[in-house]
Amino acid sequence: MDKTAYLSVHDKTGIEDFARGLEELGFELYASGSTWKLLAEAGIEAEEVRFSPPVPSAVLKALSGRFPAVSENGVELPRFLVVAADLYPIARLVAQEDFSPAELSGYLDQANSAVLRAAARDFENVISVRSPDDYAPVLAALRDAGGLEPAVKRRLAAKAWQYLAAYDATVAQYLSETGALLGDEVVMSLRKVSDLEYGENRHQKAAFYALAGARPRGLNAARVLAGGGFNLNHYLDLDAAFELALEFEEPVCAVVKHARPAGVCLAGSPAECLRGALAADPYGAVGGTAAFNRQVDAAAAALLAGAFIETVVAPAYAPEALRLLRAKEGLRLLELGAPVLSPREVELRSVAGGVLIEAKDNLPLSGEPACVTRRRPTDDEARSLLLAWKTAKYAKTYCAALAEGGTVVAVSAAESSTYDAVRGAVWKMKERRSVLGGRGPLVMAADAALPLKSLQAALAGGVTAVIQPGGWQDDAECAALCDARGAAMLFAGIRHFRH
């Protein structure tokens, strides 16, 4: 195959140098549209290939080896050895807030999509270059070895096919936002946000990806204000802590460790919230993540500066707070506003041989929880019950969360039975309640329906009000036991398992 190259790119980064390098190696250059115009203005000789959108039929004929292949302006096209092509950045376009589906068809690139597919299809003979990152290595191989090894051609073709697949998937997932959540076929396009230092363990590689084309809704929109060196565990903690903090309208601080709540506190200011959350579980908070739903002020920053917290996320920071926190070595600081959640968000989990997909558990309480006892919760109990319930939603199943006076004083999670979860929470609470001062009635939330034995353990530990999903064979006996002990109990009518 002769030294011939076809160039047609939207991203013009490096294309002029690439074209000059090919020209110096004796290549005949052909180009279309704005790429040809750029080369002409740079004084690089190239034949212009004109065609009527959407399909450059002459270019496709040339790539298939079918002749005659003549462009609309009468240029006879040879078979190409090198094809450099990319597509319109559709992911960046559809991510814009003011973009509408009605505009999409005008931006879909059929021409270069067909050209790049045809080039990558004939990977044994054609060098398909889709990224400016590959310009220099391709030129070096052509200059030093006179060509590319078959394995390198295959790698470049694979890169082109991945790029095309991501493009198609971006369009599909953008359009499917108005369709069914789970179809017979699911395609996803992921865009790398950043490489991570490591995964759950130091020997595991990891990276953070966002859905290509998705409007920023969560951690992919966070601004890193200080620190760095994130690993997978940091992001798991950030995700759980920030989503938990967003559950509340009142000022709150949620401290999370290993993707489970350690301490949560509602109070009048960020500093008071942080103080209560740290006091609730001083050991569990070590090396954890603190999330706020209010601007972090100087008072809260001063407390953070003296605590062993690795990561902080909040919607904003006061200038003095930023100064204090940036001075703390190793502290990772993120700014993230409340995301616009999609009702069609999903959770993915890998299993051997496949992937499990489910709708995201973002439903709040469905109406007022049903009171199934003669005594209704007092106002103080009701406030603490809601705090405990929202906290339990973000803990591993089975979970029991104890709260009083606006503070979650104990969380026992990831147990194999509700009985062990309740006993663990009561055991933790006995040590910490004396430190926190017993500022109100002690209440409990459980993420699963309670057997009678589990409820007995809670009431024996001093719990005066309970919220649980209900729906178990012991429901009537549990209600009767609460009535006998003067306790209140609510059935939420929904459960929040988290495995």
Q: Tell me whether residue 115 is in a domain.
A: yes
1 pLDDT more than 70 = no
Give the H/E segment covering residue 434.
Answer: helix 418-436
pLDDT at 100: 80
Same-domain pairing of 353 and 238: yes
Same domain? For 23 and 168 the reply is yes
Q: What is the mean pLDDT of the chain?
A: 90
Residues 279 and 374 in one domain: no
158 and 15 assigned to the same domain: yes
Structure tokens at 60: 């496709």
Same domain, 96 and 45: yes
Q: Which tokens is 14 given?
A: 């490096």
196 occurs within a structural domain: no
Specify whether the CB–CB gap between 49 and 71 falls below 8 A. yes
Residue 203, in any domain of the structure: no
Q: Report the C-alpha gap between 282 and 35 in whole angstroms.
A: 61
Q: Does residue 340 have a pLDDT over 70? A: no
Q: Are residues 446 and 483 in the same domain?
A: yes
Residue 130: inside a domain: yes
Alpha helices by DSSP H, 213-280: 232-245, 270-280
> DSSP characters for 356-368?
EEEE-------SS
Say if CB 298 and CB 305 are below 8 A apart: no
pLDDT given at position 176: 72
Length of the chain: 499
Cα 294 from Cα 316, distance rounded (Å) = 7
Residue 183 confidence (pLDDT) = 73
Same domain, 314 and 380: no
Q: Are residues 349 and 384 in the same domain?
A: no
- Domain that residue 118 falls in: 4-178
The alpha carbon of 331 is separated from its chain's Cα centroid by a whole number of angstroms, namely 21
Q: What is the mean pLDDT of residues 401-430?
A: 93
Measure the CA–CA gap between 20 and 17, rounded to whole angstroms.
Answer: 5
Question: Residue 398, exposed/middle/buried by CB under 10 A (0-12, 13-18, 19+)?
Answer: buried
User: What would the mean pLDDT of 201-228 be, rounded to a whole number?
Assistant: 84
Among 124, 150, 178, identify where a domain stops: 178
Name the most confidently modeled range: 87-91, 147-151, 179-183, 366-370.
147-151
Q: Where residue 178 falls among pLDDT bands split at 50, 70, 90?
A: very low
Last residue of a domain, one of 346, 362, 378: 362
Structural domain contains residue 316: yes
What's the pLDDT score for residue 54? 84
Last residue in a domain, options 335, 362, 389: 362
What pLDDT is recorded for position 90?
Answer: 84
Tell me: do 415 and 441 sit in the same domain. yes
Lookup result for tokens 């039975």 = 417
- Does 111 share its domain with 145? yes
Same domain, residue pair 74 and 108: yes
CATH number at residue 223: 3.40.140.20
Per DSSP, 201 falls in state: S
Q: Is residue 189 part of a domain?
A: no
- Whether residues 174 and 135 fall in one domain: yes
56-71 pLDDT, tens digit per residue, is: 888 988 888 877 889 8
Is residue 163 one of the residues assigned to a domain?
yes
Cβ atoms of 328 and 305 within 8 Å: the answer is yes
Residue type, 103: E
In a domain, 499, yes or no: no
d(CA 215, CA 206): 23
Number of domains in the chain: 3
The CATH number of the domain holding residue 44 is 3.40.50.1380
